[in-house]
Amino acid sequence: MIISLSTSWIESSTRKTTTIVVPLSFWQELIATKIMAETKLSLKDKRWSLHGMTALVTGGTRGLGHAIVEELAEFGAAVHICSRSQEDIDKCLEQWKSKGLNVTGSVCDLLCSDQRKRLMETVGSIFQGKLNILVNNAGICISKQITDYTAEDISTVMSTNFESSYHICQLAHPFLKHSGYGSVVFISSISGVKAVPIVSVYAASKGAMNQFTKNLAMEWAKDNIRANAVAPGPVMTVLLKSIMDSSDEGYKIVTEAASQTLVGRLGDPKEISALVAFLCLPAASYITGQIIVADGGYTV
């Protein structure tokens, strides 16, 4: 079987017609090749895309959280953030809207249980009861010698960094399960895996977070929910700057830590947000229960 194609043109008022005969097998092979190429491309795109997915990032208006929100949104996710400041939220939303990113936000003080519940009610309403990605990013650090911490210091740090993340996970579980594909990422710290001076309570909160990551991964695997933690080293964020500004010792510790990395510098938030986004992608579907250190080689 053959297919005839005719091409016509006008030359010196004389119509000429040329017939090109092409075997059907050629067209079949061409179409098959095109379909295969498109199929492979779409499968690849699906593995490396967050289009159609939803995400909640706590503390997403500054530092690592801000970078993580942009990274997830640029991969195609619809992202919701929370912060204690409506002004900070509005400023960030305006910035992200100008970039064409799909981000919403609401006020929440994660220290308050009732506000955490309202946050998840808002998230459930916006995303119609489905949540694919939860990034527990919000955290604080109070830098002191062990003997100087007060009971209030300990309670504040543990409540913000650990208790609130634990509770948010509990509240988010039905939404993560309902989505059919869930990924929880905790923003931990190298202080949770290595002793670091003057941050003992912060370190304890991150150590607890690391173990919780493993338990959550184990218990929620049956619901197709993965859980991992990213433990950044010295990265230039508002939190790190607060340690540097807290005392001469704090400044010395941070600058020495930067010099002790194999790459010889502080990290950039984008270098952490890229790892967080990867862990949320379908391409990372076999990774769960891991504490992944990103510290420029500091702990090697």
Residue 32 has pLDDT above 70, yes or no: no
- Confidence band (pLDDT; 50, 70, 90) for 15? low
Is residue 9 domain-shared with residue 74, that is, in the same domain?
no
Measured between alpha carbons, how far apart are the two ends of the chain, in Å? 67
Is residue 110 domain-shared with residue 161, that is, in the same domain?
yes
Domain boundaries, position 24: 2-40
Is residue 78 domain-shared with residue 138, that is, in the same domain?
yes
Identify the pLDDT of residue 113: 97
- Of 166, 181, 202, 298, catalytic: 202
Active site residue 202: yes
Largest distance between two CA atoms of the chain:
102
Mean pLDDT of the chain: 89
- Confidence band (pLDDT; 50, 70, 90) for 287? very high
In total, how many domains does the chain have? 2
Residue 255 has pLDDT above 80, yes or no: yes
Task: Determine, yes or no, domain membership for 75.
Answer: yes
pLDDT, one tens digit per residue, over 209-219 is: 999 999 999 99
Task: Determine, yes or no, domain membership for 113.
Answer: yes
Identify the pLDDT of residue 220: 99
Q: What average pLDDT does range 58-85 have in this prediction? A: 97
Is residue 24 domain-shared with residue 71, that is, in the same domain?
no
Q: What CATH code is carried by the domain that includes residue 154?
A: 3.40.50.720
